[in-house]
Amino acid sequence: MKNTDLTEQLSAMQKMFLPPSVLRENTRRFWESQDKVLDSMQVLANDWFERRHTGTRTAREAAERMCGTDAFADLIQAYQDWASGAFERIMKDGLSCQQQIMAAAGALASPPIVSSPSEKEVESKRSEERTPARSKTS
């Protein structure tokens, strides 16, 4: 018998402090935020892998040019072309990472929690429920 009373009391407290509609909205916002974070991380990873593939392809092409030339100047030019592309990719890594972190942080910073009614609102509602409504004609 006491277990049922405790369950009823807990249920009443939950409804008073965190109504089901608020709980439902908080849950929805939480999981939407998680999806946004995951989307940002996926974009970051995909962009990173794309730049790595570009880097290996351009490094192979530069190595082939360097191995296929007898002129020292052509060798240096092939190396400089590759190195400048590598530097650009490194800079894009930093920029992309920063942008995706900001996007993920924005998703987490958006308030996922809808506040429950304030104590005054709850007390006001209780008073209204206890006091019968007066008709305007009386």
For residue 116, what is the DSSP state? P
Phi, psi for residue 112 in degrees, rounded to 5: -80, -10
Q: Is residue 77 predicted with pLDDT exceeding 60?
A: yes
Q: Is residue 113 predicted with pLDDT exceeding 70?
A: no
**Among 110, 120, 121, CA closest to 26:** 110
Residue carrying structure tokens 């996922």: 112
Confidence class for position 49, pLDDT limits 50, 70, 90? very high
pLDDT at 61: 93
DSSP string, 50-68: HHHHHHHHHHHHHHHHHHT
Residue 91 or 3, more confident: 91
What one-letter code names the amino acid at 78?
A
